[in-house]
């Protein structure tokens, strides 16, 4: 499977990333191993997680997803050489009350490495901006990790255009590691957070872009067609899409899916993969059958007319 570069990092990923936020939430340890094996056997190679996944589940503290991935890596050492391992720090304040301070990053990386049972993180992301910490402090903390070989490349998530511009300028002026990847929310239902100044900046600077909520919390899978369908762990996140525009998007997905003998989710992911500036979407799976669908999505080629019909439906 053809891979795509992640900025200037030297890392390359297949055109879809496994979203491991479901591990420790709707997926247990044995199932997580089966899903990852199937995903890698399908020619895909990148896993996205974070130190806080999945603390929103009753009884969890965060780190459950990393722990499950670590068990899988320990049981399958050869997979570590195949994998591009992506995790994040900074969504939760550290001991000093800051998310991206040098102290929080230093402690966070050690905890993540321990849970992941590896000696390095391929791509380490600032999970969200931290207004309490100067960006130079954050980047210098990352510089130490890169020098130590604990992190190969760094990136950011949920950046504003101004915040990302400042980070890139600081890296250049201080000769510090730069963010090589941005991770924004982006899908057929939610386009405004990426399209525009943020996308323009990422393209101009040659950043890799890995997008999350690729299926709009599952709405773009087509399984939520009425209020009666709002069941399951993620159903609450789709209610805002159940309107005239949302159903118009589903109609366009249905039409393209039917023409290809595909599923609406596969079409939605193929649309993202074809978008200017996007390196790869993140998508989760809880069954082997869903993993197989993700693999099929990377093999689906849509015509210019089909891509435009989807874009028009979401305008």
Percent of residues in the chain assigned helix, strand, coil, to nearest 5: 50, 15, 35
From 53, 124, 179, 224, active-site residue = 53
In this structure, the chain runs to a length of 315
Strand partners, 86: 48, 123
Q: Examine the residue annotation and report whether 224 is marked as an active-site residue of this protein.
A: no
Q: Judge contact between 190 and 268, C-beta under 8 A.
A: no
Burial string for 50-81 (b: 16+ CB within 10 Å, else e) reads bbbbbbeeeeeebbbbbbbbbbbbeeeeebbe
Q: Judge contact between 299 and 42, C-beta under 8 A.
A: no
CA distances from 179 to 58, 132, 134, 292 (A): 34, 19, 15, 32
Please give the positions annotated as active site: 53
């Amino acid at each position: 499977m053809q891979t795509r570069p992640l900025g200037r990092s030297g890392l390359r990923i297949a055109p879809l990333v496994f979203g491991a936020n479901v591990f420790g939430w709707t997926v247990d340890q044995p199932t997580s191993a089966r899903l990852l094996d199937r995903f890698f056997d399908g020619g895909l190679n990148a896993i996205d997680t974070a130190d806080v996944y999945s603390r929103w589940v009753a009884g969890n503290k965060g780190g459950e997803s990393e722990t499950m991935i670590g068990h899988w890596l320990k049981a399958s050492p050869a997979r570590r050489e195949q994998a591009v391992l992506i995790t994040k720090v900074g969504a939760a304040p550290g001991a000093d009350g800051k998310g991206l301070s040098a102290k929080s990053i230093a402690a966070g990386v050690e905890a993540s490495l321990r849970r992941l049972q590896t000696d390095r993180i391929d791509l380490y992301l600032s999970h969200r901006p931290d207004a309490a910490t100067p960006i130079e402090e954050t980047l210098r903390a990352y510089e130490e990790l890169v020098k130590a070989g604990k992190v190969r490349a760094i990136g950011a998530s949920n950046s504003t255009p101004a915040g990302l511009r400042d980070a890139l300028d600081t890296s250049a002026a201080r000769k510090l590691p730069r963010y090589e990847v941005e991770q924004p929310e982006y899908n057929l239902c939610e386009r405004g957070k990426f399209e525009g100044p943020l996308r323009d900046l990422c393209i101009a600077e040659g950043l890799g872009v890995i997008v999350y909520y690729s299926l709009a919390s599952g709405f773009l899978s087509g399984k939520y067609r009425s209020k009666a369908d709002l069941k399951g762990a993620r159903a609450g996140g789709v209610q805002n899409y159940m309107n005239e525009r949302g159903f118009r998007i589903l109609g366009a997905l249905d039409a393209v899916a039917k023409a290809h003998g595909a599923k609406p989710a596969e079409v939605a992911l193929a649309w993202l993969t074809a978008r200017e500036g996007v390196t790869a979407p993140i998508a989760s799976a809880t069954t082997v059958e869903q993993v197989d669908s993700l693999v099929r999505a990377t093999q689906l080629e849509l015509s210019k007319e089909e891509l435009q019909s989807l874009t028009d439906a979401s305008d």
